[in-house]
Structure 1
């Protein structure tokens, strides 16, 4: 099996982890491609066409991984391993990839079994495809407020610090969600999430039952609550993955459309943007991705 390694030197932990991963790639005789030094995605595609690898190891954060998986759509059987070096590393969490053991993550990326993973297709041109989740409302505000230096210093804790700051005075959005061709949800909400994976925002478990190959989009809605209700529901949901009082509501669908007023800040696999509306549909089994023994793949993987 021929393997190439794609490295993003601009990701959160790249300067610490990058040299170690490069040594492992050189030890195993794999080509090393610093994608942050390439001009654009077309140059990356041309490089890989010339190399013709069977598997590509992606070294970077959620944004790098999502963009690379989106860009590299051929050949159809191309496999992907992941070495997470970002701040949130949320897709890596769903894939059960070691976050603090580079050699273990490398061994998994090189030798692990690749399985077919769903992806999200959006109604916008950039990004057209997403791998993990869109968080809107509070999650989008948090993504906007986190400074680069804060992410570098505190890592995933930066998301929690910013989230508690936003929760002191959360914005309220009027949202309309249409699921498939039927159910419509209209309400005032602090946040909602459209997810393929289980985690967002640096480890918040927003879709605990999601599987990366179930052919479903998982939608979580946090309705506008009183301050006491908000903290009770949020803490219960994050710490126990239970929603006994059904204040935080979850839905499954294959297609989702949202409209929001006012325009809602979003984080799309870590990339910031603001939208009034967007559509999503699930694309089953679109990428072959390596996961660990506890990866969120169902029995049909």
Structure 2
């Protein structure tokens, strides 16, 4: 199997982890491509096409991984391994990729089994495809507030620190959700999430029952609650999932459309933007991605 490695030197943990991963690539005789030095998407497509690999190892954070998986769509059986070096590493969590153990993540990326993973298609041009999740409302505000130096210093804890500050005075949005062109939900919310994976925002479990190959979009809604209810519900949902169904509501669909008033801050696989409306649909089994033994795939043990 021919394997090449794509490395983003600008990801959150690149400076600390990059040299070790490069040594592993050199040890195994794999080509090393610093994608942050390439000029645009077409340059990335061209360099990978020239290498003609069977598997590509992506070394970076959620944004790098999502962008690379979106761009590199041909051939359809091209496999992807992941060595996470970002701040949140949320897709890596759903894929059961070791965090904090670079060599274990590398060995899995090189030798692990690739399985067909769903992705999400959006109604906008950029990003057109998403791998993990869109968080809107509180999650989008948190993404806007986190500074790069804070992410580098505190890692995933930066998301939790910012979330606590936002929860003290959360913005309220009126949303209208349409699921599969049928079910319509209208209510005031603090946040909602459209997810393919299970985690967002650096380890918040927002779709605990999601499978990466179930052909479904998982929608989680946090309605307006009292301050006490919100903190209790958030803590229970993230840490224990107790009482989640009563307060934090979840839905499944193959197509989701939302409208928001006012326009709502969003984080799309880590990329920040603000929207008044958007539509998503699931593309089943659209990428071949390596996961660990407890990855969120059908038939695997529950992580």
| TM-score of Structure 1 vs Structure 2, range by shorter chain | over 0.9
Distance 1:245 1:118, change over 3 A: closer
SS at match of 2:246: coil
Secondary structure of the structure 1 residue equivalent to 2:25: helix
Query: Which residue is equivalent to 2:45?
Result: 45
**Cα deviation per residue 1:25-79 (whole Å; 9 max; x = unaligned)?**
0110100000000001101111111110000000000000000000000011000
Segments of structure 1 that go 5 or more residues without pairing to the other structure are none
Match of 2:148 in 1: 148
Q: Distance in 1 between matches of 2:244 and 2:185?
A: 20
Q: Deviations over 1:212-249 (max 9, x none)?
A: 00000000000011101101111111111233561100
Report the counterpart of residue 198 of structure 2 in structure 1.
Answer: 198
Partner of 1:297: 297
User: How far apart in 2 are the matches of 1:228 and 1:260?
Assistant: 25
Offset from partner CA, 1:68-105 (integer Å, 9 cap, x none) = 00000001100000000000000000000001100000
Relative to the length of structure 1, the TM-score reads 0.99
Kindly tell me: are residues 64 and 244 of structure 1, through their superposed partners in 2, closer, same or farther at Cα, counting changes over 3 Å?
closer
1:240 aligned to 2:240? yes
Partner of 1:84: 84
Q: Which residue of 2 aligns with 1:174?
A: 174
Q: Aligned residue pairs: how many?
A: 300
Q: CA deviation at 1:128?
A: 0.1
- State the partner residue of 1:122: 122
Residues 152, 244 of structure 1: CA spacing in aligned structure 2 closer, same or farther, 3 A cutoff? closer
Q: CA distance change for structure 1 residues 244 and 193 in 2, over 3 Å: closer, same or farther?
A: closer
Secondary structure of the residue that 1:215 maps to in structure 2?
coil
Residues 1:284 and 2:284 are matched in the alignment? yes
Classify the secondary structure of the residue corresponding to 2:197: coil
Q: Which residue of 2 aligns with 1:19?
A: 19
Partner of 1:263: 263
1:174-225 Cα shifts (integer Å, max 9, x gaps): 0000000211000000000000000000000000000000000000000011
1:202-241 mapped onto 2 (5 Å cutoff): 202-241=202-241
Other structure's SS at 1:246 match: helix
State the partner residue of 1:274.
274
Distance 1:123 1:209 in 2: 25
